[in-house]
Amino acid sequence: MVQPVLSIKSLVVEIPTRKGILRPVDRVSYDIFPGEILGIVGESGAGKSMTGNAVIGLLERPARIVSGDVLLSGNPIHNLSASEFRKIRGKKIGMIFQDPLTSLNPLLTVGEQLVETIIEHLAVSKKEAQERAIAALEEVGIPAARERIGSYPHEFSGGMRQRVVIALALCAEPDLVIADEPTTALDVSVQAQIIALLKRLCRERGVGVMLVTHDMGVIAEAADRVAVMYAGRLAELGAVQDVLTEPKHPYTYGLMGSTPLASRGLKRLKQIPGSMPRLGALPEGCAFSPRCDFAQEVCKTGSSPFIADEDAQAACWFPLQHTKLRSSK
């Protein structure tokens, strides 16, 4: 069996506050394999980015991992010190942030930033690092890369800057890339180009990708599997086609039902009533039960189910059956 690039097992992140302990990530488990793109989707505050930050060691205090395991190619990394994380961040794990302009140092040329990263993590000379930097820019589709390597970030368009950020994330040949809302700041046509680029590089290099987004269109286009998060917990996990067309969790069903394609023929988009609860005021039982049309007594009073392994599909006492959405026709 192929070893996962990333394996997260029952991960719990807590934030102590004056009013109690908050759990933005609560017993989350999933794997990402070489060459696979796993899409992480959910509403704002669902715990998507917090999970990615926990993996890469960028949790802001007082947030901390209190239990669970994070394994990178079979090796535990959840208990590394800050200095140890700096050695693998960039080399073993690349990061693509939402805003390419703030991801790059405006005072350095893109070539200087690429060369610095390559020299830091690979045993190469400055001259070889320069050639690798040019090759990285060419690989992500920067025209006239040898001439543009001396340009500053502000001299590139938004789409080209994001290509530079992707080159920066991949130039040290990492095993895993965490892409946090990589297309949100871009227009639709550029989004499609960036998604196609990410998919191609993922396949060619065998890199595992954690794609964090709130855009179901991006998930449908880019991901192999999808993990749906709600209130810090994993609601559903499965192959992207299965989850998008035949969701098992009522939250996923509502999420997919609210898309324009699934709501066609109606005057208004379908919507999920209410809003996601605050972490400090989670309801008893299933966190989604107050908004769920299918909730029963055990959902409101019993303990909430969790996805503990890859065989599970939905963290629900009563997974939906025969819920094929109109969008799949």
pLDDT tens track for 130-189? 999 999 999 998 999 999 999 999 999 888 998 999 999 999 889 999 998 888 777 888
Quickly count helices (H) and strands (E) in the chain: 12, 10
pLDDT of 240 above 50 = yes
pLDDT of 328 above 50 = no
| pTM as predicted | 0.89
pLDDT at 313: 78
The Cβ-side half-sphere exposure at 244, using a 13 Å CA radius, reads: 24
Which is more confidently placed, 285 or 209? 209
Mean pLDDT (the chain) is: 87
Which is more confidently placed, 2 or 302? 2
Question: 219: Cβ–Cβ under 8 A, 6 or more apart, which residues?
Answer: 39, 41, 211, 213, 226, 240, 244
Q: For residue range 250-280, what is the model confidence (pLDDT) as tens digits? A: 999 888 876 666 556 666 677 788 889 998 8
The tokens 């961040």 sit on which residue? 89
What share of the chain has pLDDT > 70, as a percent? 92
pLDDT at 48: 92
pLDDT of 195 above 80 = yes
Whether 223 and 51 have beta carbons less than 8 Å apart is answered as no
Q: For residue range 101-124, what is the model confidence (pLDDT) as tens digits? A: 788 999 999 999 999 999 999 989
pLDDT at 265: 62
- Enumerate domains of the chain plus CATH numbers: 6-105+174-328 (3.40.50.300)
Question: 297: Cβ–Cβ under 8 A, 6 or more apart, which residues?
Answer: none
